[in-house]
Amino acid sequence: MNEGSDRFDVSADTLGRVLAEASADFVCLANSHGEPFYLNPAGQRLVGLGEGQPASSVNLRELYDEQSWAELRDVAVPAVNKTAIGRPQPAPQRANR
């Protein structure tokens, strides 16, 4: 926390990780081949990974039928990639006081 402020100095990456770790929802980051490089604890439980097993132990393609995987790959992922979510953003400019 900044002295004299009620704001925390937290990076977006840190905040995102804290929120994902605390979520009861499945949160996963994976490449286009369905190989996860991050899977939150709820997601690990949902896919049956034990504590300490890496996210890469499971392939998301195996969790979907072919039609669902094709829709995810061809429609949902490109739609997410068009947004700024998850991409580095320029730091906000502070007004001179």
pLDDT by residue (tens digit) across 65-78?
Answer: 999 999 988 998 88
Dihedral (C-alpha) 71, 77, 78, 79: value to the nearest 10 degrees?
A: 90
- What SS3 state is found at 43? helix
Considering the domain boundaries, does residue 5 fall inside one? no
Q: How many domains are contained in the chain?
A: 1
Domain span at residue 74?
12-81
Take residue 30 and report the two structure tokens written for it: 């994976």
Considering the domain boundaries, does residue 33 fall inside one? yes
Instruction: Note whether 59 and 71 are within 8 A (CB).
Output: no
Considering the domain boundaries, does residue 88 fall inside one? no
Considering the domain boundaries, does residue 57 fall inside one? yes
Considering the domain boundaries, does residue 26 fall inside one? yes
Residue 92: its pLDDT value, please?
Answer: 58
Considering the domain boundaries, does residue 6 fall inside one? no
Considering the domain boundaries, does residue 87 fall inside one? no
- pTM for the structure as a whole: 0.67
List, for the chain, all residue ranges whose pLDDT scores fall below the cut of 70: 1-8, 84-97
Considering the domain boundaries, does residue 50 fall inside one? yes
Residue 13: its pLDDT value, please?
Answer: 80
Residue 33: its pLDDT value, please?
Answer: 85
